[in-house]
Amino acid sequence: MKPIILVFLTTVGAINTFDVPWSARMLRSASLIPNISGGANHLFGMMFPTQIIFTVLLFLMAAYLGFREQRLIKKECATSDMTAGKVDISDIVDDPELSRPKLFWINVTLTILVIMALCLMPSIPSYYVFAFGLVIALAYNFPDLKQQNKLLKKYASSLLPIMPAILLSGVVVGVMQYSGMMKAMVDTLVKIIPSSMGPWIYIIIAVFSTPLMFIFTNDTWYYVLMPIIVSLMKAYGVPADIVIVTLFMNMGALLTPIAQPQIYIGIDLTHGAVDLQQYVKYAFIPIWGMSLVWIGLGLLTGAFR
């Protein structure tokens, strides 16, 4: 199978992690609606019907690409050496400390229960639910307290960069709002934009979000552009949460290493078979098309209007 297809599919597979209530994107977005209790769960609930349909379409697209490759491989098998160009994955191994194959279904069940608690009991703070689930998971997966402490020290550090980003997002939005900067920008935009186009500005921005992400990072998208559009759309009577869910799924981030540096990891795993230019050229139109499908589904389900 062509390595570029594998890079593409694993990249777009990350879309399903974007809108879970505990993702960094969702926490960034929830910080923009502090007046709504359980903002992350609220936004997740708005997008969930659209996400179900979109996930089915992702699986269908992956199946189509897989069956197409299967046909091409069968045609080439008789005339070419199929051992050429294969990717060596012998150096990719799981962390043996985390492997618990005998407890797989118990862990799946606990994960489902935690997700159900997050979705069905929004009045309970998400950090309580996660803490409770973590304590249970550690108790039966790693009963040795010394091993628990070792693993916590090893992996907890990866969470630290997220915390100041969420806290500082309030500072950024607060400075823009209370200094008058945001109001001045919105007033200027209202004067420039034709009144007939005003109520649709947030959808127009969402349509062009894929190419726009080549000049934005995730932080500037959520902390600079999104608050401006939210404030602008208030003048046209569009609620903030509607604007946020419409602009939320900026899939162009899957194309640019500015916003998604893990793209380099995926390309590196092909051992030179794919470079960044090839990947962007291959994936740009499909990902933009997927973004347009997402917007269309959101409008049809009523989530984006």
155 inside domain? no
What's residue 296's pLDDT?
94
Give the angle 288-291-296 at the CA atoms, nearest 5°: 130
| Number of independent structural domains in the chain | 1
9 inside domain? yes
24 inside domain? yes
What's residue 290's pLDDT?
94
Q: Which domain holds residue 195?
A: 3-92+165-301
* Per-residue pLDDT in tens (0 to 9) along the chain, 305 residues: 888 998 899 888 888 888 888 888 888 888 888 888 888 888 988 999 999 999 999 999 999 999 999 988 888 776 665 554 454 555 555 566 677 778 899 999 999 999 888 778 877 877 788 889 989 998 988 888 888 888 888 777 666 665 665 566 667 667 766 777 767 766 776 677 777 788 898 999 899 899 888 877 777 788 888 888 898 898 888 999 999 999 999 898 888 766 566 677 778 778 788 888 899 999 999 999 999 999 999 999 888 88
Q: Going along 53-211, which residue ranges are E strands?
A: none
136 inside domain? no
260 inside domain? yes
What's residue 47's pLDDT?
92
What's residue 107's pLDDT?
92
